[in-house]
Amino acid sequence: MHDSAYHKILNPVLRDWIHTGIEKGPEFYSTPVGILACQRDPLLRTLDATVVFSVLSSPPPPAKGKNTKKAVLAPTIPLDAVCIEVCLNDTVIFPEGGGQPTDNGQITTPDGTVWNVLQAKRHGGQAIHYVHVQDGNVDRALQSFCPGAHVKVELDRAGFDRRYDHMTLHTSQHLLSALLETRLNLPTLSWSLTSYPSPCYVEIPRGMTVEEISMIQEEANRLVFEGRPIHVEVDVLDPTTTKTVEKTESGRAIGRGLPEDYTGGVHRVVHINGVDVNPCCGTHLPSLNNLQLFILPHTDALSRSSTTVARLSFLAGPRLITYLTSTHNYLTSTAAILSCGTPQVPERVQQVVDDRKSATRRIEDVEFELARYIAADLCRDMQGGDGLFKKHVHRTDDSATALTFLTAISSAFSDTVAKSGTETPYLVVLSSSPSAQLPTNTNVVFILGSDAKRVKEAGDGLKAKLAVKGGGKGSKWSGKSQGMWKAEKDNTVVEEILSSIV
């Protein structure tokens, strides 16, 4: 599809170059990025091509810093993979650019060997294929891809499904950004084609109301139902007329301009009929028909230095179907668990949440009452004794708040002692472990005493003999240990620690 209703080359010299360039020989010709076969016809899956050159590829340097952006997970080249870089006279494998990640695919050489293309990247104005040499025989690979060799480059089923997902969402982003700007004067600051099947998003200068989002979605789908055609116009790049990228007051770029290292000499503009005209090197659907854009009904606020931007998420095409299917499955599964119809799920979930809150309050009340009884028993044991009162109380507790309960016992005991007016010194160790004996258990310990020095001494003993990690201040100390609490052995160790303290 050199020139068609979808793809139009405006410059006659450039048009002639595309039609006759293949005849000039591989040593003179490689189609520049901007008018590759995958850009002239994004639905094309297979192409007969000629090798222009091939070289051994150097492994990519490790990424610097931590990548926190949840962007698309592009195909990666393993660090131990041996690759050669292959330039063809043309290709159906899209090299990354314009916010759209690289395709991956296959190349079949004349001997019938199928080689996997792990990535395609733009080097200047050329598309370079990173071909995996599985057996590590680089000499054989370079011979198979010698200049002039005729090969078949293609997208397999998985590769085309990935491409279709990318261009569906890329076209949706153009449509969405155009409507946001023309209807609400909201420029797109950036966009991200996230990893399948997550929603993609555009970043805009402010949040949107539910009514605004609904209006944009309704308008977008009206244009989809009309089946507005899309076409691409290509001309020779004139750097003197290339539009510079606008920036906000904070200096943040609006959209993207041409990369600084782009040397293809091709200016490519994507037209959505009556809706948008935008420079772009990515692949796009020939029509809005069957696109079906869905916008998530909220925006997420993001703070960046002195400015605040918002993120608007959207889905379209196969990714939208996957999203709706998974959401429906979650809903029906939840309805089955709750023994109700899907329309009743929100009401039933709210009822479960309310019941859980009430149950939690009841448990807290019962635990507080039980803590007072346990504290009262400790106080009775302390009465009539001579010298330092020492006691270890171990409990079995499968609650996630076992330490909270021990703290409640400590508080109740301290209050009771204070009210009784007794001056008997004391040192109490409270411990708790789950009922199941598992190496992954978390055991908790709480120490309280009338003397901070003794409390610290007991804590140091637990650290040394039971590997309890913790600390405290003054008359209280708390800690945790991992593993099984062997009652006969570990309780004896605690008693020995208490016995050694005077």
The pLDDT tens digits for 248-281 are: 443 334 444 555 555 556 889 999 999 999 999 8
- Token representation of residue 455: 């409390």
Burial class of residue 405, CB neighbours in 10 A (0-12, 13-18, 19+):
buried
Q: Which of 266, 265, 191, 277 is nearest to 231 (CA)?
A: 277
pLDDT attached to residue 71: 46
Percent of the chain with pLDDT over 70: 87
Gap between the Cα atoms of 95 and 128, Å rounded = 8
Which range (222-226, 379-383, 453-457) has the least confidence?
379-383
Tens digits of residue pLDDT in 2-52: 568 899 988 887 777 665 554 554 445 788 888 999 999 999 999 999 999
Fold agreement between 21-59+70-160 and 353-499: no
pLDDT attached to residue 447: 94
Q: What CATH architecture applies to the domain 162-337?
A: 2-Layer Sandwich (3.30)
- Token representation of residue 268: 């490519």
Tens digits of residue pLDDT in 147-196: 999 999 999 999 999 999 999 999 999 999 999 999 999 999 999 999 88
pLDDT bin (cut points 50, 70, 90) of residue 238 is confident
Across the beta sheet with 476-482, the strand order is 389-396, 426-433, 442-449, 476-482, 469-473
pTM score:
0.73
Domain boundaries, the chain: 21-59+70-160, 162-337, 353-499
pLDDT attached to residue 252: 38
Gap between the Cα atoms of 140 and 124, Å rounded = 27
Say if strands 7-9 and 230-236 run parallel, antiparallel, or are unpaired: parallel
Gap between the Cα atoms of 350 and 412, Å rounded = 35
Which range (135-144, 211-220, 260-269) has the least confidence?
260-269
Say if strands 126-132 and 83-88 run parallel, antiparallel, or are unpaired: antiparallel
pLDDT attached to residue 141: 95
pLDDT attached to residue 302: 80
Which CATH number is associated with domain 21-59+70-160? Answer: 2.40.30.130
pLDDT attached to residue 264: 59
Which range (188-192, 198-202, 242-246) has the least confidence?
242-246
Topology (CATH) of 353-499: Diaminopimelate Epimerase; Chain A, domain 1 (3.10.310)
For residue 429, report the phi and psi dihedrals to the nearest 5 degrees.
Answer: -110, 120
Q: Which of 65 and 118 is assigned the larger pLDDT? A: 118
Is 106 within 8 Å of 114 (Cβ atoms)? yes
Sign of CA dihedral 246, 248, 251, 255: negative
Percent of the chain with pLDDT over 90: 62
pLDDT over 90 at 79, yes or no: no
For 185-258, where are the alpha helices, taking DSSP H only?
210-226
Classify residue 22 by its DSSP letter: G
End-to-end C-alpha distance for the chain, whole angstroms: 94
- Token representation of residue 116: 């996997």
Gap between the Cα atoms of 101 and 57, Å rounded = 20
pLDDT attached to residue 251: 39
Tens digits of residue pLDDT in 318-362: 999 999 999 999 999 999 999 999 999 999 999 999 999 999 899
pLDDT attached to residue 58: 78
Tens digits of residue pLDDT in 272-315: 999 999 999 899 999 998 788 888 888 888 866 566 799 999 99
Q: Give the mean model confidence (pLDDT) for residues 44-62.
A: 86
pLDDT bin (cut points 50, 70, 90) of residue 221 is very high
CB burial readout 236-263, b (16+ within 10 A) else e: ebeeeeeeeeeeeeeebebbbebeeebe
pLDDT attached to residue 248: 41
* Mean pLDDT taken over the chain: 86
Is 31 within 8 Å of 90 (Cβ atoms)? yes
